[in-house]
Amino acid sequence: MAVRQVAVVGAGPAGLAAAEAALSAGATVTVIESAEQPGGQYHRMLPRAYQATHPQRLQHHWRAFERRRRALLHPDCTWWPECTVWALEQAEPGMPPRVHVLDGSVDGTGRPRRVLEPDALVLATGVHDRVLPFPGWELPGVFTAGAAQALAKGERVVVGDRVVIAGTGPFLLPVAASLTEAGAGVLAVLEANRPATVLRGWASRPWELAAQVGKAAELAEYVVGQVRHKVPYAMGQAVIEARGDGRVEEVVIARVDPDWSVIAGSERTLAVDALCVSHGFSPQLELPMAAGCALTAAGFVEVDEDQRCSAPGVYAAGEITGIAGAPAAVAEGTVAGWFAAGGAPAAVSAARRRAAAGRAFARRLARAHPIGTAWPDWLREQTVVCRCEETTYAALCRAAGAPTREDPRAVRLATRAGLGPCQARICGQTVTEITARAREQADAPRAEPHRRPIAQPIRLGELAAPAAQAGPSDRPNMKESES
């Protein structure tokens, strides 16, 4: 059989594992990553220019990562850092799509275009934080928890000195740990779900957890760390409003019921200089959607046990298939890379079992940290829902209530919600939910907020210039020289 060419998009835990597995199955591999360095969100690295003597101090599982990123130096691997996949184009039926790449720094100009035609494509593009709207969430000083994490881990910038971290999910804990390590004062970590909800989610089917001891141990480490640093961790509490003149100055904290409705009279205010929020994660779906991959009911990329998507020749791995943490992303990447390279099933049965356990873990995590259905009660008429276009809650409800607007797209056109620079990445799901709720029908026509044929911005001049048909090694390997 001819050597298979595998393209991997994303060099986070999943993409790196996919590259490693595809190489060991004998394929030639091209790894495309828009950042300068591999690692993704979990192994976000310090800039090389910081010349850090102890970069591993901010990392978990550093040695495994060091080994995995060596895959990029393999003679059959082409590493394309600072290259962004901006479109996928269906070429021939039964084949994976053509991969359109822009070579150069994000949002640059005159970046050369390249086109790859791989035998198989692995998508490992990860997630971004999901943040529900609340009054004042658009104030400067309100960050996603991921932003605070990325700035602290990746640049050593601390977002503030009096910080509240709020939302739901175990991710709030590593963020608290990073901020504390970086010298910020973390006043409180607020998990909106109550212990009963979290325990019910975790404690059902405990055998599923055994396979995930790696992640469980890491979580336990955070909890112990919390105790040591004495960061108050409270459950059943939420930040329901941010206030301030031109920037966040105080937050309103309330106790909430299991459905996240506010318990009247429980509100209190706290002076802060930064607020970090995460209510979960949204997958970066533009590329899977462009490839024609089916999604699950929860809105992640649907894969089979071999990490195969519904589109031919396309595999998906990591958190775009569900939120289960970095170890599960690695297992999925291993499976995806191996099968994309045409490897025989028997050799990856262990990774397949770990990936299946990861999927079970993802289901538990989702059950343990659900988004309470009553959150829209936090909103006021003038609360901004779409940050880009500043569409208010009242405007959305009005538009959704109009009988002519059965189609969620009509609501968007009428209110401009989701039509600004972020193209509904931040508000898409929220607008769909508010629209459905406003119409009091649970199964409103499904919006597809992720259909963005242009996955990443490209400038007109770049589009007009001809693209190079790139073989996998057309660009000199830009090897990672750092140790």
Ligand X SMILES: Cc1cc2nc3c(=O)[nH]c(=O)nc-3n(C[C@H](O)[C@H](O)[C@H](O)COP(=O)(O)OP(=O)(O)OC[C@H]3O[C@@H](n4cnc5c(N)ncnc54)[C@H](O)[C@@H]3O)c2cc1C
Q: Is residue 61 close enough to count as binding ligand X by CB under 6 A?
A: no
Which of 318, 327, 343, 428 contacts ligand X by CB under 6 A?
318
Kindly tell me which of 99 and 411 has the beta carbon lying closer to ligand X. 99
Distance CA 260, CA 258 (A): 5
Number of residues that bind ligand X (CB under 6 A): 37
Which of 5, 84, 226, 429 contacts ligand X by CB under 6 A?
84
- C-alpha atoms less than 13 angstroms from C-alpha of 207 in its C-beta half-sphere: 1
Distance CA 56, CA 7 (A): 29
DSSP H or E stretch at residue 191? strand 185-191
Residue 220-259 contact track with other proteins, rule CB under 8 A, x = bound: --------------------------xx------------
Of ligand X, other proteins, none, which one sits near residue 165, judging by CB under 5 to 8 A according to partner kind?
none
Place of tokens 């490693």: 20
Both tokens of 47, joined, read 């800039």
Which of 1, 2, 49, 344 contacts other proteins by CB under 8 A?
49
Using the contact rule CB under 8 A, the part of the chain among 64-72, 218-226, 296-304, 386-394 near other proteins is 386-394
Of other proteins, ligand X, none, which one sits near residue 325, judging by CB under 5 to 8 A according to partner kind?
ligand X
Using the contact rule CB under 6 A, the part of the chain among 121-129, 131-139, 418-426, 439-447 near ligand X is 121-129
Kindly tell me which of 254 and 316 has the beta carbon lying closer to ligand X. 316
Of residues 172 through 211, those in contact with other proteins by CB under 8 A are 181-183
CB atoms inside a 10 Å sphere around CB 325: 22
Contacts of residues 404-408 at CB distance under 8 Å and 24 or more positions apart, as own/partner, are 406/445, 407/445, 408/432, 408/435, 408/444, 408/445, 408/446, 408/447
Distance CA 152, CA 181 (A): 9
Number of residues that bind other proteins (CB under 8 A): 60
List Cβ neighbours of 355 (8 Å cut-off, separation of 6 or more).
305, 307, 328, 331, 332, 334, 335
Kindly tell me which of 34 and 197 has the beta carbon lying closer to other proteins. 34
Of other proteins, ligand X, none, which one sits near residue 280, judging by CB under 5 to 8 A according to partner kind?
none
Question: What is the per-residue DSSP string for 377-439?
Answer: GG--TT-EEETTTTEEHHHHHHHHHSTT--SHHHHHHHH-TT-STTTTTTTHHHHHHHHHHHT
Which of 82, 119, 273, 319 contacts ligand X by CB under 6 A?
319
Using the contact rule CB under 8 A, the part of the chain among 158-166, 296-304, 348-356, 367-375 near other proteins is 158-166
Q: Is residue 451 close enough to count as binding other proteins by CB under 8 A?
A: no
Q: Is residue 73 close enough to count as binding other proteins by CB under 8 A?
A: no
Instruction: State the helix-helix crossing angle for 428-438 and 408-415, rounded to 10 degrees.
Output: 110
Using the contact rule CB under 6 A, the part of the chain among 13-21, 89-97, 182-190, 241-249 near ligand X is 13-21
Strand ranges (E), 46-154? 77-80, 83-89, 98-103, 113-116, 120-123, 127-129, 142-144
List Cβ neighbours of 422 (8 Å cut-off, separation of 6 or more).
387, 388
Strands 113-116 and 468-469, by their bridges, are: parallel
List Cβ neighbours of 20 (8 Å cut-off, separation of 6 or more).
68, 71, 333, 334, 337
In Å, how far are 11, 37, 72, 74, 127 from 69, measured between CA atoms?
Answer: 9, 10, 6, 10, 20
Q: Is residue 158 close enough to count as binding other proteins by CB under 8 A?
A: yes
Of residues 122 through 181, those in contact with ligand X by CB under 6 A are 124-129, 146, 149-150, 153, 171, 174
Distance CA 355, CA 339 (A): 13
Q: Is residue 14 close enough to count as binding ligand X by CB under 6 A?
A: yes
Q: Is residue 41 close enough to count as binding ligand X by CB under 6 A?
A: yes
Kindly tell me which of 219 and 270 has the beta carbon lying closer to ligand X. 219
CB atoms inside a 10 Å sphere around CB 483: 4
Both tokens of 72, joined, read 């990029």
Kindly tell me which of 58 and 123 has the beta carbon lying closer to other proteins. 58
CB atoms inside a 10 Å sphere around CB 407: 13
Which of 60, 61, 74, 156 contacts other proteins by CB under 8 A?
156
Q: Is residue 280 close enough to count as binding ligand X by CB under 6 A?
A: no
Q: Is residue 455 close enough to count as binding other proteins by CB under 8 A?
A: no
Residue 158, φ and ψ in degrees, nearest 5: -100, 130
Of ligand X, other proteins, none, which one sits near residue 247, judging by CB under 5 to 8 A according to partner kind?
other proteins
Of other proteins, ligand X, none, which one sits near residue 457, judging by CB under 5 to 8 A according to partner kind?
other proteins
Q: Which residues bind other proteins (CB under 8 A)?
A: 34, 36, 41, 46-55, 57-58, 105-109, 128-129, 138, 140-144, 146-152, 155-161, 181-183, 246-247, 273-274, 284, 387-390, 420-422, 425-426, 457
Q: Which residues bind ligand X (CB under 6 A)?
A: 9-15, 32-35, 40-42, 84-85, 124-129, 146, 149-150, 153, 171, 174, 284, 287, 318-319, 325-326, 329, 455-456
